[in-house]
Structure 1
Amino acid sequence: MGLELLIPIAAFVGVAALIGGVAIMLRGSTDSAVEDRLGMLTGTGAKAKKAAEKESSVISKPLDDMPGVLEEFASRFLNLSLLLEQAAIQLSPGKFVLITIVLGVVGTLAMFLAPISFWFAPLGGAFLGSFPLMFAIFKRKRRKKQFGAQLPEALELIARALRAGHSLGSGFHLVASEMNEPIASEFGRCYEEQNLGIPMEEALDSLANRVPNLDLRFFATAVILQRQTGGDLAEILDKIGNLIRERFKIFGQVAALTGEGRLSGIVLLALPPALFGVMLKLNYDYIMMLFQDELGKQMLVFGIIMQILGAIVIKKIVNIKV
């Protein structure tokens, strides 16, 4: 298949993806006023959590029972709904997949039109198409880190509210009103779910599922056990907060001790791609032998596999769990 035929095919795929995406976005924007009001109160939007589905089908179940093809695929196989929710990205899974496809097609077309070998076209599409997913993962990681740093202060605030005679729900409302994002919106959503009639246990379980934080899971377990067996919840929360702070101190010490190893890993992993780019610029024909010769292709595949294995080994060495 020549280059003259590949370019029209890629352009047709891009136009088809754009038309299909517009149709899906128009189809997915028909939520009723009832669902919009519930989404504003609970922050669930068009999709609701499974725990809320057990409690109330009106609150949790979307009123549109015919989602788009991309929506169904993303929810069933990729679990993008949870990723986007944890990253606080206000996009439906279908729109997110659409953006990924469009960027992949644009990257492929750009590499086709560039004055380089067409072997780089799939690489360009994969590189540009991976941007949305990498952005979502980065944002989720940053949000999780911010939440973990705020959690000890939030637990101490709830403990003081309990000692002052307030209820646990009032403590959640205090955290939502006094603290910054992201912990304010998460505890505020938990508080609103209780106001809508969802039991405390299910609201806490939903909170722990939205935020993949082990300390938050400890907090939810402690609250549920205290409600079943009794005890001083304020004292328990103080101990959990102190435990989290001590672990942060140890984590900082470990990060300082492993800093040299992490920096060495970054340099070693970045050196082969950087050297490849320099050689491609200086001696194009020399690098193209890797793509034209059968032995060169095998060497490329072997080098990529070894690069991935090296990254995994380095990550295992410097990643010490605290």
Structure 2
Amino acid sequence: MEMQTLALGFFAAIAVGGLAWVFVYPSLSGDTKVEKRLSSVARTTPTVRQVDRVQRSRREQVEGSLKEIETRNAKQKKVPLNTRLSQAGLDWTPAKFGTLSAVLGVTVLGIAILFGASLIAAAGLGFAAGFGLPRWTLGFLKRRREKKFLAALPDAVDVIVRGIKAGLPLFDSIKMVAADAPEPLRTEFNAIIETQTIGMPLDEACARLYDRMPLPEANFLGIVISIQQKSGGNLAEALSNLSKVLRDRKKMAEKIQAMSMEAKASAAIIGSLPPIVMLLVYLTTPDYIALLWTHPIGRIMLAGCVLWMSAGIFVMKKMINFDF
């Protein structure tokens, strides 16, 4: 009992001492007065400087411009046919494109029937020729035009930077690019000039470049000019940084292409090996391999092989195509 009493008294004394250290000692030692004096000296009046207000306003304008551009791009998920034709560099109307596609499909259908193909096979060939082939050609022309645009865009931005540093307005610098740049850059910058001439602001005219040329680099140019027109700043420095970014992206794309060429060559060899082997076997012993399309089980096996080979080629294509 005595030991318990002594222990309780000891812990009670420690508790009282701790409370006194926390609450009583600061007032006795003068730490509280020192802290109050330091806080009174270090306290600043809550004034808002003009520089902070300007920076906050510019940040809000930049965020608003980026949000507007993201909203506009999100709404343009489904591209109409006339826009796709202009992106491919064709001046056709959708009606003309549809007519030519229908004529091509009917022509291939008639040729397939004349050569003795079944109605289902001829219809499949006609559909592929009338619907798939024209759109694939349209996509091919669009990609080729975009590559030419990307190859000439950094030099065009450098011309604009040099014109601005020489004292020319932005619109006159764009005119210089439109006069001397190769196609399709000349056409796109002429469209900017024509759009601005009819009364549209220059930042909106440059932002519409992304509608005709749906590339991140074109979007970067529109964003830089739009932000500078709304919030001000050194446009020559911003465009110079943009030119550096464009060249770095081009170097990265070429580096990725060089590093993926080995994988592309391997995929091409693996994908072409089965048809080549089938052709060689057919040339040497046609009766041996003819069972694949004459016997019902052979047809099933051939269809399965085509399915698995297509799946393998699709997987390899996804593995060697890089987005950055």
- For residues 134-180 of structure 1, give each alpha carbon's deviation from its aligned partner in whole angstroms, at most 9, with x where no partner exists: 22111110100010111100111111111122222112211110111
Matched, 1:155 2:157: yes
Question: Does the 8 Å contact 2:87/2:213 carry over to 1?
Answer: yes
Q: CA deviation at 1:318?
A: 1.1
Which 5+ residue runs of structure 2 have no aligned equivalent? 1-68, 70-77
Which residue pairs with 1:18 in the alignment? none
Q: CA deviation at 1:301?
A: 4.7
Which residue pairs with 1:252 in the alignment? 254
3-state DSSP of counterpart to 2:167: coil
Distance 1:315 1:245, change over 3 A: same
Which residue pairs with 1:17 in the alignment? none
Query: Which amino acid in 1 is paired with 2:258?
Result: A
Correspondent of 2:138 among 136, 140, 154: 136
Which residue pairs with 2:114 in the alignment? 113
**Distance in 1 (alpha carbons) for counterparts of 2:274 and 2:95:** 36
3-state DSSP of counterpart to 1:141: helix
**Distance in 2 (alpha carbons) for counterparts of 1:124 and 1:279:** 27
Question: Does the 8 Å contact 2:109/2:125 carry over to 1?
Answer: yes
- For residues 228-277 of structure 1, give each alpha carbon's deviation from its aligned partner in whole angstroms, at most 9, with x where no partner exists: 21111111111111121122222222211211111222333344556667
TM-score (norm. length: structure 2): 0.67
Which residue pairs with 1:13 in the alignment? none
* Matched length: 247
**Distance in 2 (alpha carbons) for counterparts of 1:189 and 1:261:** 40
Distance 1:123 1:289, change over 3 A: farther
- For residues 161-213 of structure 1, give each alpha carbon's deviation from its aligned partner in whole angstroms, at most 9, with x where no partner exists: 11122222112211110111000110111111100111223312221111011
Structure 2 matches for 1:232-271, cutoff 5 A? 232-271=234-273
**Distance in 2 (alpha carbons) for counterparts of 1:126 and 1:296:** 27
- For residues 87-107 of structure 1, give each alpha carbon's deviation from its aligned partner in whole angstroms, at most 9, with x where no partner exists: 011211122122112111111
Distance 1:97 1:163, change over 3 A: same
Question: Does the 8 Å contact 2:108/2:126 carry over to 1?
Answer: yes
Distance 1:214 1:269, change over 3 A: same
Query: Which amino acid in 1 is paired with 2:129?
Result: L
Q: CA deviation at 1:303?
A: 3.8
Structure 2 matches for 1:210-221, cutoff 5 A? 210-221=212-223
3-state DSSP of counterpart to 1:173: helix
Distance 1:145 1:201, change over 3 A: same
Distance 1:131 1:278, change over 3 A: farther
**Distance in 1 (alpha carbons) for counterparts of 2:274 and 2:127:** 19
Which residue pairs with 2:205 in the alignment? 203
**Distance in 2 (alpha carbons) for counterparts of 1:276 and 1:120:** 22
Structure 2 matches for 1:1-322, cutoff 5 A? 79-115=80-116, 120-129=121-130, 130-272=132-274, 283=286, 290=293, 293=296, 295=297, 298-322=300-324
3-state DSSP of counterpart to 2:188: helix
Question: Does the 8 Å contact 1:279/1:287 carry over to 2?
Answer: no
Which residue pairs with 1:58 in the alignment? none
Question: Does the 8 Å contact 2:208/2:222 carry over to 1?
Answer: no
**Distance in 2 (alpha carbons) for counterparts of 1:283 and 1:116:** 22
**Distance in 2 (alpha carbons) for counterparts of 1:196 and 1:313:** 49
Query: Which amino acid in 2 is paired with 1:236?
Result: A
* Cα RMSD (Å): 3.0
**Distance in 2 (alpha carbons) for counterparts of 1:274 and 1:96:** 37
Q: CA deviation at 1:132?
A: 2.1
**Distance in 2 (alpha carbons) for counterparts of 1:286 and 1:234:** 68
Which residue pairs with 1:69 in the alignment? none
Query: Which amino acid in 2 is paired with 1:104?
Result: G
Moved more, 171-180 or 245-254: 245-254
